[in-house]
Amino acid sequence: MTWGVDNLPYGVFSCPGERPRVGVRYGDKVLDLAPALHDEVFAAPSLNPFMARGRMAWHDTRTLIQNKLTGDLPVTEAHLIPLEQVRLHMPFEVADYVDFYCSIDHASNLGRILRPGSEPLLPNWRHLPVGYHGRSGTVVVSGTPVRRPHGQLSAGVFGPCAKLDIEAELGFVVGVPTALGSPAGAFEDHVFGVTLVNDWSARDIQSWEYVPLGPFLAKSFATSISPWITPLEALPRIPGRVQDPEPAAYLRRQGDWGLDVQLEVVLNGEVVSRPPYSGMYWTPDQMLAHLTVNGAALRTGDLFASGTVSGPERAERGSLIELTWNGTDPIKLPSGETRSFLQDGDTVTIRATAGALTLGEVSGTIV
């Protein structure tokens, strides 16, 4: 079944009149973990205390839940709550939020759009996973309405963003911290799981503000994530894409951290793109190694995202600026409507699967 024992993502839910707490999704139900596992760590309103326990605890807990659900151990029916009775919340407290820029197709497309006539990739791009810090306080859970931001669009021009865009991404959630000054160890010792990310972007604000210190207000108004965090252990892995030139020693891969995740971008119910994660140039283990090579500490709840996932085909682009070539070539929706960028009332949903596994979805409506 979908959402079966091979999946078991974690989230934070509440029933009417009760406090938010940690649960695991199983089919169309939520397993209420604190009473089911007799463990108060799941009574917290965020995954952070559980995520801080580390890899062995994550594995043991997953095995225990699987045993409960497949009948080796009993599960009380009252601990399995129908999804329609619960509300879903932010699954974890975000410590620092970093966004990378790991798709070679996305980076090349943006280079062609924003710097026509010059080499699409900047000189550093193939040498390191370019990234920057975003605003962790405005990471919101799927379903939160997204208010169209106002801002400066050019010299002397202030108003509502006219080029409101999405970025379909995968995000990685850190469980186990590092000490200041010590680069991270193995990826699977630190990263708890993955979430879907929609990094809403105001392209007109961005193009005016971003030199020389990078995107700021163009991104900080909202970043949406999916409510269910898929454990790393559940994700099938594949080899990463070949890299040329060979990366610096600290960025060399120690294992297969390519992910065969297929994303889908849905605008008002119609699929507009199917970005393949498998073609990403920089793999998440390389993002983590880069993020900490200077000694920057990790904290429980750190979130780092891949950057827009785009494939080489037009129908595989993970942002509207690419799909519509900065608005010059609007997309035609199956309904007959066209879009250059998002209009008020539009709903964008990003869904993903990894083989038979679903990663759920992240959704938001422009208000």
Q: Are the C-beta atoms of residues 283 and 289 closer than 8 Å to each other?
A: no
Among residues 38, 89, 106, 127, the one annotated as catalytic is: 106
Interface pick for a second copy out of 57, 208, 253, 325 (rule CB under 8 A): 208
Instruction: Please name which of 354, 269, 350, 281 lies closest in space to residue 311, comparing C-alpha atoms.
Output: 281
For a second copy, which residue of 16, 116, 117, 137 counts as binding (CB under 8 A)? 137
Residue 140 binding a second copy, by CB under 8 A: yes
The yes or no reply on residue 248 touching a second copy (CB under 8 A) is yes
Which is it for the CA torsion 312, 230, 226, 136, positive or negative? Answer: negative
Q: For this structure, is 106 an active site residue?
A: yes
Q: Tell me if 246 is assigned to a ligand binding site.
A: no
Give the DSSP per-residue string, 43-75. GSSSSHHHHTT-HHHHHHHHHHHHHHHTTSS--
Establish whether the linkage from the previous residue to 212 is cis, with ω within 30° of 0: yes
Among residues 284, 264, 283, 262, which one has the least CA distance to residue 272?
264
Does 150 bind a second copy (CB under 8 A)? Our answer is yes
Query: Is 61 labelled as part of a ligand binding site?
Result: no
Rounded Cα–Cα distance for residues 82 and 31 (Å) = 9
136 binds a second copy (CB under 8 A): yes
Q: Which helix H or strand E contains 151, and what residues bound it?
A: strand 150-154
Interface with a second copy includes 151 (CB under 8 A)? yes
- Residue 87 Cβ, how far from a second copy at the closest point, in Å? 18
Q: Is 328 annotated as a binding residue?
A: no
Within positions 179 to 198, which residues make up the interface with a second copy, using CB under 8 A? 180-181
- Tell me the closest approach of the beta carbon of residue 89 to a second copy, in angstroms: 15
Distance CA 16, CA 86 (A): 7
Q: Indicate which residues carry an active-site annotation.
A: 106
Query: Could you tell me which residues are annotated as the binding site for Mg(2+)?
Result: 219, 223
Given the rule CB under 8 A, which residues bind a second copy? 95-96, 98, 101, 122-124, 127-128, 130-138, 140, 144, 147, 149-152, 155-156, 158, 180-181, 202, 205, 208-217, 220-222, 245, 248-250, 290-291, 293-299, 302
